[in-house]
Amino acid sequence: MQYLLKNLHLIDPQEKIDTLADILITDGVIEKIGTRISGNKNIKEIDLEGSFAAPGFIDMHVHFREPGFEYKETIETGIHSAANGGFTAVCPMPNTNPPVENEALVRWLIDQSKQIHDGIVDLYPIAAVTKGREGKELAPMLELAEAGAVGFSDDGSPVENAEVLRRALEYAKMTSRLIIQHAEDLNLSKGGVMNEGFVSTSLGMQPIPAASEESVIARDLKLVEYLMAPYHIAHISTSGSVDLVRNAKSKKLPVTCEVTPHHFTMSDEMVRSFDTNTKMNPPLRSKDDLEALKEGLKDGTIDVIASDHAPHSFDEKQVEFLFAPFGIIGLETAIGLALTELFHKKILTIQQIIEKFSINPRKILNLPKIKIAEGERANITIFNLDIEWIVDIEKFKSKSKNSPFHGKKLKGKPVAVFNNGQLVVSDL
């Protein structure tokens, strides 16, 4: 099968590519890049004038809920959601039932993904750090790495025991894998439902203080400095956390972190609506924290934008705020929010956005480098900076619809993805 993608603006910061061109793809491989490439009746030609092409975007923090919670999301619906949202790769977290803590389950996840739309979205599992994600005894990390796990996390729960974390960091370093920490002191956050501050006080809500996140990061960074083992902080959310990471990077420590679109888009003021889709963990923080996150993105302290796609069923979220589960879906709004809030508001350049969605997460996870070049396998995300659209959860491919962005107007939109010989056009 041949595809001719016409009139694209190619951007690849790592290869210093910034040019207008057509791309001819034959059997999934880029055959030719040039201007005014001619097609024929046997080539599927698509005019993409006004759109940008970049190395395929990867979301390194998603929850697909399978096995165990298929009523919220499955591997199949999650992958369709990812492709519709502009991603060619995902890293599902292990908080399933049972948790992803054995090599058979790691291999099963990878095999399942390859059967969906001929593998349009590559799946790289994150395995559990500890058995049962209980933080007590290490999972068989060497076997999990050999089976294909690209990192380890007890996400949803922190690795609280410092000795357990130390051993995990040592094993991760041996396998050239990454520890991804959910930074939360459960003693400080217990019972909390939103950020501690003026809004929580005025609403009478049980709070989650910034210190819950920052104290764990501060402790962990001491271990990282001692061991010089790679360490990644999931969904960073406070100004203090940004400062801790910035200081660690000034010391050349192997530390990276990610931020979600909802944390650089919304503040805790949104909780005044009592919409349970504004309840997530870590919680929406103050406006000052939000600005600090944007500054951290701008100066490179924050390496990655990840969705923390967390599906929940309608009835789970349709309860009182106190009893609703934490989390929102994000795969199909992540790119639109980033372009709207970061590019169009001149926080990040388009090159920096591509770095945080594509290049940096692959480097952090030690995944193969993606290039848009002749002879390379085509792995491409296509997006448009100027399309204005209204978020409509009914158009989402995700099985769940728990998004606080329904009805929001965005500027910038995923258009299509091409990967493993397949093209999917977004219909958001």
Beta bridge partners of 5: 23, 46
CB atoms within 10 A of CB 76: 18
CB atoms within 10 A of CB 361: 26
Smallest CA-to-CA distance from 209 within 232, 179, 240, 181 is with 240
Bond from prior residue into 55 cis (ω within 30 degrees of 0): no
Q: At what angle do helices 162-174 and 210-227 cross, to 10 degrees?
A: 50
Helix (H, G, I), strand (E, B) or coil at 353: helix
Per residue in 179-225, pLDDT (tens digit) is 999 999 999 999 999 999 999 999 999 999 999 999 999 999 999 99
C-alpha span between 122 and 368 (Å, rounded) = 12
Give the distance, in angstroms, between the CA of residue 59 and the centroid of all CA atoms in the same chain: 3
Burial label for 383, CB within 10 Å (0-12, 13-18, 19+), is: buried
* Joined tokens for residue 38: 């001619």
- Domains located in the chain, CATH noted: 2-52+374-425 (2.30.40.10), 57-364 (3.20.20.140)
DSSP state of 11: E
At residue 223's C-alpha, the angle toward residues 221 and 226, to 5°, is 110
Q: What confidence score (pLDDT) does residue 194 get?
A: 98
Q: Does the pLDDT of residue 38 top 90, yes or no?
A: no
Smallest CA-to-CA distance from 21 within 34, 40, 32 is with 34
Q: Which helix (H) or strand (E) holds 189?
A: helix 186-189
Q: Does the pLDDT of residue 400 top 90, yes or no?
A: yes
The proportion of the chain whose per-residue pLDDT surpasses 70, expressed as a percent, equals: 100
Our answer to whether residue 268 is catalytic in this structure is no
Helix (H, G, I), strand (E, B) or coil at 88: strand
Q: What confidence score (pLDDT) does residue 41 get?
A: 84
- Catalytic residue, chosen from 122, 154, 289, 308, is 308
- Let me know: does 381 contact 56? Beta carbons within 8 Å: yes
C-alpha span between 231 and 253 (Å, rounded) = 9
Query: What is the reported pTM?
Result: 0.97
